[in-house]
A = this chain, B = another copy of it.
């Protein structure tokens, strides 16, 4: 293993000079710099991460805590994680992958050991048990998601309330009066995961203003669950003509069932989804949708975190504005029936 000392000898300078060439923390003459850089190349030197962490009290590692559960849409998680890792690298950080399994203990472990300089938490619940710990430490952190109380925390998320409102507005504009919301699995609501509840709130309050009726039904993914859910919806509200779906694994079953019931999309019923663009485009009907900007969320989270680490001021809450893309699954309500 090549050490900094060896580089110094090889270049005919002192260890500190090599260190400063690397860090750029003091000016170096052009000649010296070149010789040092040449030696680094020739010897294939890589600074030792442990030594660096010990001496500088910085690990250059960001911890990312992903949920262990997989009842939520996994590709979104993965896309966020990859965006986090990619963006972190551009700022000189590596990413440590923690699962939710350890829970609050992981926060303590990482904070206490100096393993990571900062952390990003995904899948934050409204009243998350990790939050007190984060508030009580000086380790910078960013949440992807929005808990009930954001004081003292930095959060990045899609503005789900605005998302819900946007969906309902679009349907209202098309003349729909009875809206059914097909939501995430019941467990998601029971855990009080922020995004699901906020979508619903935004949607309901806008619907109230616009005078629309809303029926909300959580739904496990898959065909069997969807069959039941859909039957109940039409049973309770036969005049439903607009659907808002926030559950990727319910999208295709819903479309298939509607087809089977000879309800044409968008002639008889309109469907709008909250999902990644890829899902909207690949569905059997190209779906009008509000996109979940997974990459953007991961990227912004890292940028907020790096700003904190650099001692720059950060926003407390970054809410990304939802964007509606109109495709082939929504249309004006039928005037014939």
Contacts and interface: CB of A to CB of B under 8 A. Distances in A.
Contacts of A146: none
A224 to B, nearest CB: 9
Contacts of A97: 64, 81, 85, 94-97
Interface string A136-160: 0000000000000000000000000
Interface of A: 1-2, 44-54, 59, 61, 64, 66, 68, 70, 74-75, 77-79, 81-82, 85-86, 89, 94-99, 101-102, 108-109, 111-115, 221-223, 249, 252-253, 256, 281-284
A81 to B, nearest CB: 7
This chain: copies in complex = 2
Given A222-B281, A281-B222, A282-B221, A113 B46 contact: yes
A94 B70 contact: no
A51 to B, nearest CB: 5
Given A54-B51, A223-B283, A115 B98 contact: no
B114 A48 contact: yes
A283 B49 CA distance: 47
Contacts of A252: 252, 284
A75 B81 CA distance: 13
